Amino acid sequence: MSFTGKYELQSQENFEPFMKALGLPEDQIQKGKDIKSISEIVQDGKKFKVTVTTGSKVLKNEFTIGEECELEMLNGEKVKAVVQMEGNNKLVTQVKGMKSVTELNGDTITHTMTLGDLTFKRVSKRI
């Protein structure tokens, strides 16, 4: 199953408490909470390019499954991580005590991030 495509955010849960836990300033949280972000994913075998555009903020990450890479977090911090694939539709990584799972089912991508007992969930549909 290929992740390649453009996806528009449909819904999200726990955005504000999760962003506060990551240390984002209140004004950025308020600005970002109602913007429908667009995620563009290009998959070439085990190589991925992910671009997330939220208003004027663009977050770009590139990685190869199973290899260490540098990922930019939502708060702008750059961290080293290894992204693994589970099955043929799930990308999983651990970053600074946070687990990130991106799962593709048909035309829907569900991205879940867990930090301690706080879970942030985003659901996007292919456009």
For residue range 3-45, list pLDDT tens digits in order: 999 999 999 999 999 989 888 889 888 888 888 899 999 999 9
pLDDT for the residue numbered 22: 84
Across all residues in the chain, what is the average pLDDT? 93
The encoded tokens of residue 21 equal: 């836990």
Q: Give me the domain span that covers residue 111.
A: 5-126
pLDDT band at 65 (very low <50, low <70, confident <90, very high): very high
Closest CA to 5 of 37, 36, 39, 35: 39
Q: Count the domains in the chain.
A: 1
pLDDT for the residue numbered 73: 83
CATH number at residue 73: 2.40.128.20
